[in-house]
Every structure is written in structure tokens, then in C-alpha cells.
Structure 1
Amino acid sequence: MELRQLKYFLKAQELLSFTEAAKHLNISQSTLSQQIKQLETELDVSLFNRIGKQITLTGPGRLFTEYAEQSVRKAEDGKLMLQDLKKIRVGTVTIGVAY
């Protein structure tokens, strides 16, 4: 399971359209469909009902949404933390004491 697949899943479930999700993500619709299918294969469950060009979430898809959101949010939080860490200056402080 890849973070990118989770992001694709979340956009598709938000818009309920692979075509519109692909446009928002600046990828082809076939790429989005392939990645969602790979995610479903890995999870061994259908996340979407597909009826022509219309999609709806399955029960497992609805349940998985919360976990996907948390995973993406945690990954983004971790990235921000590391970026902040790079901004912290590290150095040596010398303290002199007279007595």
C-alpha cells in the first residue's frame, strides 16, 4: 500500500468520479483506476461499486476512508515535523564562569 494510492482513493471517494479525481490529481484516469485496483487487490476488498462511469463507496470503502485519512494526515505531519527540524540551528554554546 502506497501513500499515493491512499491519496488517490480519498480524492475519488470525495468526488465519486474517477475521471474528476484524475483531473484534480493531474494524472490520467487509467492511472487512477489502476492504482485503485492495485489497492483493492492488496486489501482483498472492493472499495468502490462501479456502475458505468459512476462510482459509490462500498461498506468496506466507507470504513477504510477514516483510516486512509488518518494515514495521509500522519504522513504529512511527519513530513512537516522533519522540515521544522531542519530549521532548528544546532551549534555549540560555550559558557565561561569567573570565580
Structure 2
Amino acid sequence: MGYYKQNYYCRSSHRIQKRLRRLPTDSGGPTNVLPLRKSHHAAFDPELFTIGRNYRLHVSPDSETDSDLLEQTIVDRTGESVPQLYGNVAPTYLRQHNDSLGWLTN
């Protein structure tokens, strides 16, 4: 298994819809969790990239990075599918998160 597949989703997790963090019983369950490593989490929060309803990577047109890791695992893979998310992250939560992004036309 390549570096991308082994390390893209690990170490920490991120709730897609932040307002659901208030009550653990109303968190949306495990399908509202996007597992991310620390550097990807730091890029997801300021909306530098997202995952579309079709489970493809989308990068903000205003996104810039000096990180080789983010360049290789996000920017260079824009438009690629992330099959590990199929059935694990609900498209409903992705849509709710992405509806607030002015740059995503998906």
C-alpha cells in the first residue's frame, strides 16, 4: 500500500459539521467523522480543501501551501476519489459542510 493510502487518514479525526459537536448524542455518529492526520486537519479547518459528495478531493482556488506533504497528498490529487470514505462518511454531512464553501461548485 502506498504512502497516500497508508497515511492520508490517520492520527486524528474531524467532525465534518462543527455545530454537531455540542452534544455527543447528537453528533451524527461515526458517519460524521472525517479521520485526518494533524497537517490535513490544519488545512481542512480553514477550508483549504474539502471532500465532495462524490468523495473526490477539492482544493480551494485560493489555497497555497509550502508543505510538500499537503502538495503531494492534497493539491496534486485534486479531483481524485477517496474510496476509503465510501460507506464510512455520509454524503449528507459532506453536503452540509460544503454548502458553506463559496468556492465549491459541486
Considering fraction of residues, name the structure with more helix: 1
Q: TM-score normalized by structure 2?
A: 0.27
Higher strand share: 2
Q: Please identify the structure whose Cα radius of gyration is greater.
A: 1
Quick one: higher RCO (CA 8 Å, sep 6+), 1 or 2?
2
